[in-house]
Amino acid sequence: MNSNCENIKENLETKNKTILIVDDIKINYLLIKVMLKKLNVSLKWVDNGLKAVEECKKNKNIILVLMDYRMPVMNGYEAALQIKKRRKDLPIISQSANLLKETNPQIDINIYDGFIKKPIIQEKLLSIITKYIN
């Protein structure tokens, strides 16, 4: 794996730290899991926004959320709003095949700390993770 991964491993205290992956399509989670397998950080997957809100309420070890936008039960934007009410400093990175502002101009994109476009490229994923958890 590249040096970004090694830098994160060296500079991040990862014991009891979790990245929450929120995506209703399991294969997307599995791909991210492979991309991040060498990091010493736990990954947790949930398949809708409501579960993400609940997980962030109970799990204080979550240090970053990768949030899909289109999901059943509760979309990523609504989930991000709910999470930010309780944990303002928790970085939430939107992951979407579309730019949210283009497809949903009414959305306040400032609720997110960053964006990553699908299909996710490993280098970009590691770069954004480094930015928020390093």
Domain that holds residue 20: 3-133
Q: What is the pLDDT of residues 83-110, one digit of tens each?
A: 999 999 999 999 877 655 555 545 666 7
**Would you call 45 helix, strand, or coil by DSSP?**
strand
**How many domains, the chain?**
1
d(CA 15, CA 40): 8
From first to last of its 134 residues, the chain has per-residue pLDDT tens of 455 555 555 555 556 789 999 999 999 999 999 998 877 789 999 999 999 999 999 999 999 999 998 899 999 999 999 999 999 999 999 987 765 555 554 566 678 888 888 889 999 998 888 888 76
CATH number at residue 48: 3.40.50.2300
Nearest to 5 by CA among 101, 57, 14: 14
Amino acid at 21: I
d(CA 18, CA 56): 10
Q: Which two tokens stand for residue 78?
A: 């609504």
Nearest to 68 by CA among 95, 32, 108, 100: 95
Give exposure, 71-88, as e/b (b: 16+ Cβ within 10 Å). beebbbbbbbbbbbeeee
